[in-house]
Amino acid sequence: MDNADYLDVALRLANVTTVDMPALAEALHDEPWWATRLTPADVRALQPVADGLRRALAAAVASDADGVLRETNALLAAHPLRPRLSGHGDRWHVHVADPDEAPAGEVAAAASWGLAQAVVHHGLTRFGACAAPECGKYFLDTSTNRAKRFCSARCANRVHVAAFRSRQRD
């Protein structure tokens, strides 16, 4: 994984609306090493991590630098990195925590590190919350004109179709 992948883990965990086994497994689908090993203890351990990520991202969206620092540093302190070099044949990568421990430890460290690295690399102005009613998922806007308003094409299409239909009724 690289830092962008770790941010993706942070965003997916923050955007889990109900932290339960199926929701976490879905959020971690790109990392089957974690998703298939989840236990109820991991679910309990990751709830406060998801809450902290949401607080940090809400602070970023609000351009609250002190809030971002406070929440991100709290996550990093609670879930410190313990890097481990891993090799599988000629595929080398770094785990941010001991891969032999419960998935929650590595997921929490990865998400905390990913968020911190994204703030360093992108600043606060690139973070957003979906403008679709009833969504509110967080995202990183990497568009050249910084105009992203929705977390996904699905949300954007839903809002635009609803607006079109409203105009047609009027």
Structural domain includes residue 7 = yes
Which CATH number is 11's domain given?
1.10.3300.10
pLDDT at residue 59, rounded to an integer:
98
Structural domain includes residue 134 = no
Packing angle, helices 40-61 and 3-14, rounded to 10: 100
Place of tokens 């620092």: 69
Q: For the chain, how many structural domains are there in total?
A: 1
Domain with 79, as residue range(s), is 3-124
Residues contacting 168, CB < 8 A, separation 6+ = none
Structural domain includes residue 17 = yes
pLDDT at residue 19, rounded to an integer:
81
Structural domain includes residue 138 = no
Cα 56 to its chain centre, rounded Å, is 11
pLDDT at residue 99, rounded to an integer:
78
User: Which two structure tokens, joined as six digits, stand for 50?
Assistant: 């998801």
User: Which two structure tokens, joined as six digits, stand for 72?
Assistant: 């991100």
DSSP type of residue 170? -
Kindly list the distances between the CA atom of residue 128 and the CA atoms of 13, 67, 82, 121, in Å, as whole numbers in the listed order.
15, 15, 30, 15
pLDDT at residue 163, rounded to an integer:
81
pLDDT at residue 1, rounded to an integer:
60
Structural domain includes residue 165 = no
Structural domain includes residue 23 = yes
Q: Which residues of the chain have pLDDT under 50?
A: none
User: Which two structure tokens, joined as six digits, stand for 161?
Assistant: 């179709």
Which run of H or E residues covers position 111? helix 103-122
Residues contacting 142, CB < 8 A, separation 6+ = 122, 126, 148
pLDDT at residue 168, rounded to an integer:
87
CA distance 74 to 29: 26
Report pTM. 0.90
pLDDT at residue 3, rounded to an integer:
64
